[in-house]
Structure 1
Amino acid sequence: MCLSIPSKVVSIDKDEVTAIVDTMGVKRKVGIDFIADEVKEGDYVLIHIGYAMNIIDEEQALASIETYREILELMDEEERQRGVDESDQCPGGGGS
């Protein structure tokens, strides 16, 4: 199963059509091609295969992050880091 952790947009580069997002403390560059006209710094987005696919409500995002933190508490350190690092790398175009 593929889960997408809500990520907060930290900065936007309109020329490159990318954003830097923070996913539970891990920062990465993602494409914003699908939401470039609507997204702004501070928004929460869901990412799939390296692209921000949609903007979600902050309250919903924070609730999802809290649930994900609870799940991570049950994992060992290696599983925990892999879960955050690979959250947007689902193979085969599966759901997010």
Structure 2
Amino acid sequence: MCLAIPMRIESIEGFTARCQAKGVWRDVSLFMMQDTLPAVGDFVMVHVGYAIQTVTEADARTSWDLLDQILEGQAQEAGGA
């Protein structure tokens, strides 16, 4: 299974963006998006260290909410097992 996480770009240097999501910071490669480079403040989907597409802030927040629900469900299942 593949999973991409939405992150907000805080700074860009060359083809490397410093991104943040829910207090977690990562350096992310923009190499795969060089035809349409995102800007500081944009939200991007990050998969294995690469930004693969831009998304709206609303879509990023929806994804974070869904991921939180999944993790909460897994924690409840683990506690009840």
Instruction: Kindly provide the CA deviation profile for residues 40-85 of structure 1, in whole angstroms up to 9, marking residues without a partner as x.
Output: 1111111122111111121111111111111222344xxxxxxxxx
Q: Which has the larger radius of gyration?
A: 2
The one-letter code of the counterpart of 2:11 is S
1:4 lines up with 2:7 in the alignment: no
Where does the alignment leave 5 or more consecutive residues of structure 2 unmatched? 76-81
2:68 aligned residue: 69
1:25 lines up with 2:7 in the alignment: no
Where does the alignment leave 5 or more consecutive residues of structure 1 unmatched? 77-96
Higher share of residues assigned helix: 2
User: Is the contact made by 2:17 and 2:29 (CA closer than 8 Å) also made in structure 1?
Assistant: yes
Higher share of residues assigned strand: 2
Measure how far apart 1:23 and its partner are.
Answer: 2.6
Distance 1:72 1:25 in 2: 16
1:44 aligned residue: 43
The number of residue pairs the alignment matches comes to 74
Measure how far apart 1:34 and its partner are.
Answer: 2.2
Residue 38 of structure 2: SS of its match in structure 1?
Answer: coil
Question: Identical aligned pairs, as a percentage?
Answer: 35
